[in-house]
Structure 1
């Protein structure tokens, strides 16, 4: 007989990331970039989020997009359950996971970034 003990925790960050760009076209370009990268990663069977280095196909793709600031683990954040929406010059990202890759990408693309927990700051309430 085998006995298995495990521990876990149910957690939800309820994280909200808001990136504010100077121009609306920059926010639109960011939204399109995240969609393009996510689509590539989900279709690329060679991408390994646990790898120390990028595979050749991913490295070529990142080079074409001029994206060199993320590790494979961070790039994998784009595959998490994330909701990205754009309203004018603002991009809003929400997730229950730690998705710091989006923060890095927003800063890299020139956005002013705000990060908070919707548990502590519900968006439908006045603060």
Structure 2
């Protein structure tokens, strides 16, 4: 019998990213770009086998990113848009909820459009970025 020991990332990060823009126009542009990236990621996942040894960016994806003028985005940044997340916008503020720990693709878009960014876990903080009262009682919170 073989027993496998390994590390798993099944733990939900429950992250919130908040991008605060100087104008509604900047927030709308970021929101629209994220919607386009989600559509692009979902289309790429159907044709792209992420398990393949060839991890290069497909030419179609590179061309789409050039058209969006997102020159600093890579394949893995776009792949994250295929995972479960949500994006909402209220005025100059864009909020993103995700369970993933890799949020680089989201950060790149927020920063590209000029956002001031805040990131926190809802395990420890509520939606208003106030410490949750039950967070100090958690055994895995990392606090003493």
Q: TM-score, normalised by structure 2?
A: 0.76
Match of 2:77 among 67, 74, 79: 74
Distance (Å, rounded) in 2 between the aligned partners of 1:68 and 1:48: 23
Superimposed CA distance per residue, residues 38-85 of structure 1 (whole angstroms, 9 cap, x where no aligned partner):
112212345565754321111111111111112211221111111110
- After TM superposition, the structure 1 stretch with the greater mean CA deviation from structure 2, 4-13 or 77-86, is 4-13
In structure 2, the partner of 1:94 is: 97
Distance (Å, rounded) in 1 between the aligned partners of 2:48 and 2:69: 18
User: Which residues of structure 2 form unaligned runs of 5+?
Assistant: 132-144
Aligned-residue CA RMSD in angstroms?
Answer: 2.2
Q: Aligned to 1:84, what secondary structure does the other structure show?
A: strand
Distance (Å, rounded) in 2 between the aligned partners of 1:87 and 1:46: 34
Distance 1:26 1:48, change over 3 A: farther
- Bigger-Rg structure (1/2): 2
Please state if 1:21 is matched with 2:21. Answer: yes
In structure 2, the partner of 1:65 is: 68
Q: Aligned to 1:68, what secondary structure does the other structure show?
A: coil
User: Which residues of structure 1 form unaligned runs of 5+?
Assistant: none
In structure 1, the partner of 2:109 is: 105
Distance (Å, rounded) in 2 between the aligned partners of 1:10 and 1:4: 19
- Aligned length, in residue pairs: 126
* 2:80–2:105 contact (8 Å) kept in structure 1: yes
